[in-house]
Amino acid sequence: MASTAGWNRIAAILHNDQSTDLQVTTVPLGMGRLDNSYRIAALTGTGTFALPAPARAELQSFVQKGGTLVIDAAGGGSTFAASAEAEIKALFPGNALGPIPLDDPLFAGKPTIRRVAFTRSAQSFIVGGADAPMLKGIQLQSRWGVVYSPLDISAGQVGNDVDGVIGYSPESATALAEHLVLAALLHP
């Protein structure tokens, strides 16, 4: 469900700045194609959704075998966010989503992420002027198997400020995506 435009931009940035190659591929879920030759999978969208059983099984297997699943609500849509949280609970019933602490290695590296900026539309939803990443996750075997953002990361990855998007600024979305990819590649 994820758009490839932002991920293609992240691939170019990682290639140029980190000498790391990321190949972006669209993989239909539930057809047995999401195997562990992939290290990271992104799921984003708008509106209500429910994964069919084969797609759930494929995502569970992918994460349990070392893959990282990144989920964000495109545009910051609350209906997608609610569906995503329900799907995460269904995928990993014994594991609760919890906040990813700011001192987690996920936010280390170059540049270190300690503060983020949000889009103008998101600022009215941010309580108390917070400036920390608002990511949640499920840790499996001392790594983040699932990383979830109820705020939009995908639109910001494209590098343009889009009015009405409730999410991270383009600079912050880009930095978060880079860190997510590097964490998935370097910490299996």
Q: How far apart are CA 80 and CA 64, in angstroms?
A: 24
Q: What's the pTM?
A: 0.93
- Residue 26 pLDDT more than 90? yes
For the four alpha carbons of 101, 103, 105 and 108, in that order, the dihedral sign comes to positive
Classify domain 4-186 at the CATH topology level: Rossmann fold (3.40.50)
So where are the chain's domains? 4-186
Tens of pLDDT, residues 72-98: 999 999 999 999 999 999 999 999 999
Q: Residue 128's pLDDT is what? A: 65
